[in-house]
Amino acid sequence: MRDMGEMVTQGQTDAQYMFLRQRLQALDTGWNELHKMWENRQNLLSQSHAYQQFLRDTKQAEAFLNNQEYVLAHTEMPTTLEGAEAAIKKQEDFMTTMDANEEKINAVVETGRRLVSDGNINSDRIQEKVDSIDDRHRKNRETASELLMRLKDNRDLQKFLQDCQELSLWINEKMLTAQDMSYDEARNLHSKWLKHQAFMAELASDKEWLDKIEKEGMQLISEKPETEPVVEEKLTGLHEMWEVLESTTQTKAQRLFDANKAELFTQSCADLDKWLHGLESQIQSDDYGKDLTSVNILLKKQQMLENQMEVRKKEIEELQSQAQALSQEGKSTDEVDSKRLTVQTKFMELLEPLNERKHNLLASKEIHQFNRDVEDEILWVGERMPLATSTDHGHNLQTVQLLIKKNQTLQKEIQGHQPRIDDIFERSQNIVTDSSSLNAEAIRQRLADLKQLWGLLVEETEKRHRRLEEAHRAQQYYFDAATAQCAARTSPASSAGSARGAPGAVSSATSSTRSWRSAPRTHCRHCSRHWNNHHSPPDTHTQTQKRKRKQKKCRARWLMPVIPALWEAEAGGSQGQEFETSLANMVKPRLY
């Protein structure tokens, strides 16, 4: 319409045409205004749509936050150690869930901030929601972390309280034993006295339990000052209970002693005397073990006897205080001292035999240990002797080389084991000197066996090394002969010309052999077992055939000057006749 109007009114000056031009301009202006109104409406609707999507996501984020706030507000501190552990586990799982929802909440916040930066018509409301969600989320994170710390602190407190409860129950149980005053019968007076002494020793050792709990309580107070009232109350109660237990125990000990001092003293002396007689019979035993295991068992029994001696020593010291108490009551001092001195003298007389038996047991252990070490070394040598004396020298060059490496490994192992053998012979000097004549003779015999076997092992490995070297040379000759046969078969004319026309072939055998061995290997049907595809990648059939013919000619030029000299030089060696026959059969007919 616009184009048609322009064409109709172009160049016209009539009033109607001028009016028509004005109407067309008004139409164009109205169309532009309508387009702007449409764009404004489109922008408004897009912003409203984005706002509604934001509100939808906001509701989901607020649901997460409401649930988090409820859980955090209704979590209580458990009153048992098991409950505290379970609450910590539950809180850690809850925080893991919070981490999983954090990405969604952050996405809502980022979306809101982007809408605000884009100038959304609801920017104020969006900003308000963003600030609210972000603030609530941050507070929930802080509250969750603080709650986890409080739960861990509560767990430490509950552990301390449980330890206090266990010690309190133990003290009450021991208090029943300490308050038992059934000691009127003199018949079992001494056994009750010994039990009470053991009970007092148990209390002394378990005092460390109280000290440990007190140390943990002080540390708990220093780290968490808010727990000081509860901890101080528990520690004070435990100390009071412990003091009552110790006081009751001391009172019972005194009353037990006062009940019948003379009878208790007599029974104590009789019991000690009986125990010392039993100890004397054990010390006089000449059983020092038949092997290392029995010696170790006897040493453990010896250690038990020494521990019992320490306990009995305290009982003898207690007899001194009992004797003094009896003398103060007017009892016969001579009789009391006589009993005490008899027991004390016998006790002191057994100390030296006890130490002597310990020394003999240690010496017996050393001998048995030495014998076991010698037997282990003999066994070690015996396990490796078949390798050293083996007659397997390989059936080709590769197997011989493998056997040489194995023998070298065995020689290195023997060399590394030499210090162990030297140590045994060094230890044997002192053991043979300190042992009896019978033991010394047996030890010398086993040492001689070990020395002989060791020398034989070293000698056999050296012999095997020489045999393998000879086998290696022989197999190398066979390998060279096979190579020569292959080259002679592939180029007979060139071989004959080279053999007859090469001056000085015999004199240059060594250098030619060296050059031949370093020359490129040819690949043929006779030598494929030794040379495995050391050539260029596969080519066309024609090129491959040309390359093979060229390599065969090259091999012939290298080998022909060497074969007569090698054949003639090896004819007089240890493998000469066999090698001469092989060369004659393989090469000589083609050389002459």
pLDDT in tens, 364-373: 888 888 888 8
CA 551 to chain centre: 58
Tell me what pLDDT residue 386 has. 92
Instruction: Specify the 3-state DSSP secondary structure of 395.
Output: coil
The owner of tokens 């010496």 is 363
Which of 26-30, 256-260, 564-568, 580-584 has the highest mean predicted lDDT (pLDDT)? 26-30
Rounded to an integer, what distance in angstroms lies between the CA atom of residue 507 and that of residue 65? 101
Contacts of residue 278, defined as CB under 8 A and 6 or more positions apart, other chains included, come to none
The owner of tokens 């997460």 is 64
Share of the chain above pLDDT 70, in %: 74
pLDDT > 60? residue 555: no
| Encoded amino acid at 465, one letter | H
Contact status, residue 148 vs residue 75, Cβ threshold 8 Å: no
Contacts of residue 522, defined as CB under 8 A and 6 or more positions apart, other chains included, come to 486, 487, 490, 531, 548, 551, 552, 554, 555
Instruction: Specify the 3-state DSSP secondary structure of 185.
Output: coil
Rounded to an integer, what distance in angstroms lies between the CA atom of residue 397 and that of residue 59? 84
Contacts of residue 51, defined as CB under 8 A and 6 or more positions apart, other chains included, come to 115, 120, 121, 122, 125, 126
Share of the chain above pLDDT 90, in %: 12
Tell me what pLDDT residue 181 has. 65
SS3 percent helix, strand, coil of the chain, rounded to 5, is 85, 0, 15
Distance from the first to the final alpha carbon of the chain: 115
pLDDT > 90? residue 405: yes
Better-scored residue on pLDDT, 561 or 263:
263
Where does the pLDDT of residue 344 fall: very low under 50, low under 70, confident under 90, or very high at 90 and above?
confident
Exposed / middle / buried, residue 189 (Cβ in 10 Å: 0-12, 13-18, 19+): buried
Half-sphere exposure of 338 (CA within 13 A, CB side): 5
Rounded to an integer, what distance in angstroms lies between the CA atom of residue 141 and that of residue 462? 78
The CA-based angle 461-464-466, given to 5 degrees, is 115
Rounded to an integer, what distance in angstroms lies between the CA atom of residue 480 and that of residue 475? 9
Better-scored residue on pLDDT, 321 or 151:
151
Average pLDDT over residues 27-40: 80
Which of 249-263, 429-443, 560-574 has the highest mean predicted lDDT (pLDDT)? 249-263
Give me 213's structure tokens.
């709990």
The string of pLDDT tens digits covering residues 265-282 is 777 788 888 888 888 888
Contact status, residue 536 vs residue 585, Cβ threshold 8 Å: no
Tell me what pLDDT residue 190 has. 65
Other Cβ atoms within 10 Å of 380 Cβ, number = 19
Where does the pLDDT of residue 493 fall: very low under 50, low under 70, confident under 90, or very high at 90 and above?
very low
> Does the global pTM surpass 0.75?
no
CA distances (Å), origin 530, targets 119, 293, 535, 585: 84, 58, 14, 21
- Please report, for the chain, how many H helices and E strands are present, in that order: 17, 0
Contact status, residue 292 vs residue 368, Cβ threshold 8 Å: yes
Contact status, residue 394 vs residue 402, Cβ threshold 8 Å: yes
Average pLDDT over residues 432-456: 77
Average pLDDT over residues 148-157: 90
pLDDT > 90? residue 403: yes
**Nearest CA to 322 among 270, 267, 257, 273?**
257
Domains of the chain, earliest start first: 6-162 (1.20.58.60)
Where does the pLDDT of residue 168 fall: very low under 50, low under 70, confident under 90, or very high at 90 and above?
very high
Average pLDDT over residues 238-264: 80
Show the beta-strand stretches assigned E in 182-339.
none
The owner of tokens 């009940």 is 259
Half-sphere exposure of 184 (CA within 13 A, CB side): 1
Tell me what pLDDT residue 554 has. 55
